[in-house]
Amino acid sequence: MTQAAAPEAMATEKAVIDDTTVDGAPVADTHASTEAHGGEAHAAPAALGMDATMWVALAMLVVIALFIWKKVPAMIGAALDKQIDGIKAQLDQATNLRKEAEAIKADYEAKAKQAAADAEAMKAQAEEDAKAIVAKAKTDATAMIARRAKSAEDKIAAAERAAIADVRAKAAAAAAAAAEALIAAHHDAKADAGLVDATIAKLN
């Protein structure tokens, strides 16, 4: 059926329907039958040998033929295919987003584990450093105490030596003064001259 023949078929169908009663009989036949039987209406054969059911079936076939001619099923299929492709694209996008989310989650979990391990390592290193600092402080304190004790001992020894030297000097001075006093008391100028002569003689 061509595009030009379609309107003619539709016009013919409309004319037939207009000239047909509800039960499928032509209007003229219905009036004639009613008059012949005293006004009673009886079902008569439809126009062109087809009743209303056949005309409806024919109309449905025409509509289906128009749909096929206009490629309506192909258009519907294309629309459905397009919608299916859109749904597939959305599903693929959702799958990719889920994969990215899982990758990000795994990355953060790995970073969290690494951060925990780093924190433990830093804690252990801090404890080792603290122990080393305490040990060094103890060693330094012991060495400083030893140095100060040695310095104190040296100062005490120097003070003792200075005191002994002072005592010895004072004792020598006292002894010299006492000897001088004794010599002055027991020797006169003649005795001193004799001692000087004896000493000179020894030198010669």
Helix (H) / strand (E) element for 33: namely helix 27-36
Distance CA 129, CA 125 (A): 6
What pLDDT is stored for residue 39 in this prediction? 44
Last-in-domain residue among 19, 53, 70? 70
Choosing from 21, 55, 70, the residue where a domain stops is 70
Residue 190 lies in a domain: yes
127/3 Cα distance (integer angstroms): 95
- The answer to whether position 174 is within a domain reads yes
The two tokens of residue 168 are 């010895």
Token look-up 């002055």 returns: 184
47: in domain: yes
188 token code pair? 């006169």
Structural domain contains residue 87: no
pLDDT at 143 over 70: yes
pTM: 0.34
Residue 44 lies in a domain: yes
Show the domain range for 55: 5-70
- Within a domain: 56: yes
pLDDT over threshold 90, residue 129: yes
Model confidence band, residue 133 (pLDDT cutoffs 50, 70, 90) = very high
* Among candidate residues 70, 92, 114, the one where a domain is terminated: 70
Instruction: Count structural domains, the chain.
Output: 2
